[in-house]
């Protein structure tokens, strides 16, 4: 009976198999461990010499193409399910840019000073772009991520009215749940302060 189950399962894609394994394991897994579990359970037939790379590329491609609607999410160097964002999004898993790497980069390159005129011009340009968008004068649609950035930007510079209007233009289905939760709080704060 086990053999027939394995044969029936062996026609799954790497991503489908990875999803099932992560669902059962109920925790983020590195690409190697995830691949080992898929192969041990006989979920995918493969002749690949580098199945771990295949799993990594498959999941990374799905994350890239499906964006916020993707089943997977990266937690540092591990893959997990996007539905776990709240559970593991608190810093339990370090980001890929480890502290050591950051420290080495700062020591080697330092931080670039931005002249005050350039900084003010950048801020003014961003404000003009936001207001142009809100007046409907902008030809291109802003991406959901850019709208989220604008909400934060408006809040940061006390442009609460603009921040509230931009927030109302965000479709929550087009933004990853963890990002939307943060922006929602900022957007509501903008609405409350803009009254």
Instruction: Provide the strand spans (E) within the chain.
Output: 72-75, 78-81
Q: What angle do CA 165, 171, 177 make, to 5 degrees?
A: 115
* Gap between the Cα atoms of 29 and 50, Å rounded: 17
* Gap between the Cα atoms of 120 and 122, Å rounded: 5
Residue 184 burial (CB count, 10 A): 16
Instruction: Output the six-digit token pair for 64.
Output: 């890239």
Instruction: Output the six-digit token pair for 17.
Output: 């198999």
* Gap between the Cα atoms of 118 and 168, Å rounded: 30
Instruction: Output the six-digit token pair for 158.
Output: 């006390």
- H helices of 110-175, in order, are 116-134, 144-156, 160-167
pLDDT score for 6: 40
From first to last of its 195 residues, the chain has per-residue pLDDT tens of 343 334 344 567 888 999 999 999 988 898 899 999 999 998 888 888 888 888 998 888 888 888 777 888 887 788 888 888 776 655 544 444 345 555 666 666 667 778 899 989 999 999 999 999 999 887 667 889 999 999 999 999 999 999 999 999 999 888 888 888 899 999 999 999 866
**Is the torsion defined by CA of 83, 88, 94, 97 positive or negative?**
positive
pLDDT score for 101: 55
H or E segment to which residue 3 belongs: helix 2-9
Residue 123 burial (CB count, 10 A): 13
DSSP state of 111: -
* Gap between the Cα atoms of 86 and 53, Å rounded: 28
């Amino acid at each position: 009976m086990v053999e027939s189950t394995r044969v029936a399962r062996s026609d799954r894609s790497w991503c489908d198999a990875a999803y099932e394994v992560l669902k059962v394991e109920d925790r983020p897994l590195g690409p190697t461990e995830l691949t080992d579990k898929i192969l041990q359970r006989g979920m995918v037939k493969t002749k690949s010499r580098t199945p771990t790379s295949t799993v990594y590329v498959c999941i990374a491609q799905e994350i890239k193409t499906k964006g916020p609607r993707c089943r997977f999410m990266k937690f540092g160097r591990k893959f997990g399910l996007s539905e776990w964002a709240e559970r593991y999004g608190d810093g339990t898993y370090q980001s890929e840019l480890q502290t050591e790497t950051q420290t080495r980069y700062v020591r080697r390159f330092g931080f670039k000073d931005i002249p005050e005129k350039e900084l003010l011009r950048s801020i003014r340009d961003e404000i003009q772009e936001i207001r142009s968008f809100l007046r409907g004068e902008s030809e291109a649609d802003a991406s959901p991520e850019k709208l989220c950035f604008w909400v934060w930007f408006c809040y940061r510079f006390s442009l609460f009215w603009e921040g509230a209007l931009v927030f109302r233009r965000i479709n929550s289905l087009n933004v990853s749940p963890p990002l939307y939760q943060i922006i929602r709080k900022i957007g509501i704060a903008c609405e409350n302060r803009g009254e």
